[in-house]
Chains A and B, each alone.
Chain A
Amino acid sequence: MNVLRPFLKAMLTNRSLWFWGVAFMVFWLVLGAFIFSSGLPSTAIPAFTASWFAVTSLFSLSTLAIGISASIAYATAALAYGFRFTLLKPRDYLFSLLAGTGVLGLTLTVIMLGSTVGVFGARFHLTLLPADPVALVGAAVLAGAFMMALSVTLMLLVVNFLGLRNTSFVSFVPLLLSYVFGLGEVNVAVPSWLLYGSPFSDISALLYQGFTGGAPPVELASASSGTLGWPWLLASLLAWTGLLLLGAAYLLRHIRVRSIEEGRQM
């Protein structure tokens, strides 16, 4: 018994997701196109645009994690009750979240793509379309699934072992890590092994690849800094997602019921 439709509805009617995941990111795109692009040579425009698309999409996708974390923290009793006294099974619940975040990941990425094309097109008077839409769709769906796996695992670790007092901070961890790695790639020379190993860098690099059709650079701000191989990026992201899903499945079966009031004792 899956809960995909109500999950999608709950997420799509979440105003915070639309504000922080879309409106705020479009604001960053406008800044990128009109403020941070001064003196940019015309040859660098495609890579520059792809970098902004990749990083803002990563930030946008990470806001999904906040909504999912909050819904888990609120639903510990509902989940425990549901597994015992309804047709809901942990596997079905995880599948619903996985499929739902895949759809949401794709939705957010498409919105960011449209916004990037519109904003940067208006700035540079160019039509910049993604070179590899299939790769882009795959990366977006996988990115959504990863954010879900990460947020569910982190939240269940906290719920099962620490209590709800720490949930507010934990729900923002995926967002914070996205900013650390996303901005890090733009501003710092991050070693390539760390880029391959970090699922956040994997997501932005794969999105970059989908947009430009070429291998992503080690430094997003410098196209001449060497490139990353997409099979390794994909393998790393799949491995992270798979491992986290296994963790989430185990933790969900042993979910500990927490009172919401516990989370309010901040």
Chain B
Amino acid sequence: MRYLPGVLEVQGLSVVYPGSRSPALVDVSVTLQDQRMVVVGSNGSGKTTLLRACLGLAPVTRGRVRLFGREVQDARGLLPVSTNLSEVYRLLSVPVGDLIRLQARLKGGNTTQASRWIREFELDPVLRRPLHEISTGQAKLVSNLLALDHDPRLLLLDEPFENVDLSRRRRLVSLLRQARGCVLLNTHEFELLRHFEDWQLGFLLEGKFLGPYSVSDLDRLFLNRGEVPESIGQIRTTLGTFSITRDRGEAPLKGATTFQSLMERLS
């Protein structure tokens, strides 16, 4: 049987930052073939580190990441991969307008789409200012638009809605739903999940991945203390062991604000 490489293959990934005693990611495995996945986790759960590791920007201590069948460390000129991590847009301290032109050239495209989005999101006033001089929400939006530009086949988005106002959030959701490639999106906001009903769902807790499930199943998922026979996923945390069950259990995930608060309530 012929091996078909996934767009993103993460296998047994562990990350420990220098000087840190606790790992940021522990034995994480995720595969995306043509799916879109939203990963929910509280602050410090390892969401950003997962994206950074997928791009070869985090110190991986174990495991591997493959993009389009290639080891991430060996990737060169892999244009279909894109991200909104702001650190990758700090190549030079230039105004946002120049940054858009620079990124378009580096991705082998033009600025037509990004310019249209800049107008739609009313970001024209920031074009003459560098990314570090504009507001956090505006910088996040610019990074999102740069990531979405040039139709990436793998889009890695870190908290794309953070500090973004409500009307622009709606427009961004619409853009994200139109994106054609695989998407791995991180958020700590449970309430955002209702916008992505047909996406896969994963949880990150203390650097450990739990999933994949389906966002449309969220109303049927429950969190339980300890190991239970009918569990469809288990995780060991500093608060104890927790299991996910479908259709019945101790605490419904529906209506939860954060996974952490659910665990704390149960423990």
A/B interface sample: 19 pairs, CB < 8 A: A9-B98, A10-B92, A74-B90, A75-B90, A75-B91, A75-B92, A77-B85, A78-B91, A81-B87, A84-B56, A84-B75, A84-B76, A85-B77, A85-B78, A85-B81, A86-B103, A86-B106, A87-B107, A260-B90
Given A6-B98, A77-B85, A82-B106, A71 contacting B92 (CB threshold 8 A): yes
Residues of chain A within 8 A of B83, CB atoms compared: 81
In this assembly, does A80 line the interface, its C-beta being within 8 Å of a C-beta of chain B?
yes
In the bound complex, what is the Cα–Cα distance between A256 and B141 (angstroms)?
27
Given A77-B57, A81-B55, A85-B79, A260:B102 Cβ within 8 A: no
Alpha-carbon gap, A259 to B19, bound state (A): 13
Query: Could you list which residues of chain B lie within 8 angstroms of chain A, going by C-beta atoms?
Result: 18, 52, 55-58, 72, 75-79, 81-83, 85, 87-94, 98, 101-103, 105-108
Which residues on A sit within 8 Å (CB–CB) of B18?
163
Q: Would A84 and B106 count as touching, CB distance under 8 A? A: no
Whether A81 pairs with B77 at a CB distance below 8 angstroms is no
Assembly CA distance A230 to B176 (angstroms) = 62
B100 to chain A, nearest CB (A): 11
Is the CB–CB distance between B92 and A80 below 8 Å? Answer: no
Kindly count the residue-residue contacts between A and B in the assembled complex, taking CB atoms under 8 Å apart: 85
Most buried by A among B88, B98, B106: B88
Return the chain A residue nearest B101 by Cβ: A6
A205 at the B interface (CB under 8 A):
no
Determine the distance from Cα of A19 to Cα of B18 in the docked complex, in whole angstroms: 37
Chain B CB within 8 A of A140 CB: no
Residue A220 interfacial (CB < 8 Å): no
Min Cβ gap B81→A in Å is 5
Proximity string of chain A (4-24) to chain B, C-beta cutoff 8 Å, 1 when within and 0 when not? 001101100010000000000
Q: Which 9 A-B residue pairs are closest in the complex by CB-CB distance?
A: A86-B106, A77-B87, A81-B88, A78-B91, A84-B75, A10-B92, A85-B81, A257-B57, A78-B90
Does A88 count as interface, using CB distance less than 8 angstroms? yes
Residues of B within 8 A of A95 (CB): none
Chain A residues whose C-beta falls within 8 Å of the C-beta of B107 in the assembled complex: 86-87
B11 to chain A, nearest CB (A): 19
Contacts of A240 in B (CB 8 A): none
| CB neighbors of B among A58-82 (8 A) | 71, 74-75, 77-82
Q: Is the CB–CB distance between A78 and B87 below 8 Å?
A: yes
For residue B101, which residues in chain A have a CB less than 8 angstroms away from its CB?
A: 6
In whole angstroms, what is the CA distance A36 to B102 when docked? 48
- CB of B56 within 8 A of CB of A80, answer yes
Q: Is A172's beta carbon under 8 Å from chain B?
A: no
Assembled-state Cα–Cα distance A66/B141 (Å): 31
Residues of B within 8 A of A88 (CB): 91, 106
Give the distance in Å from the alpha carbon of A79 to the alpha carbon of B57 in the complex: 10
Q: Is A131 an interface residue (CB 8 A)?
A: no
Which residues does chain B contribute within 8 Å of A6, judged by CB atoms? 92, 94, 98, 101-102
5 new A-B contacts, CB < 8 A, other than A80-B57, A257-B52, A259-B87, are: A78-B90, A81-B57, A82-B106, A84-B56, A87-B79
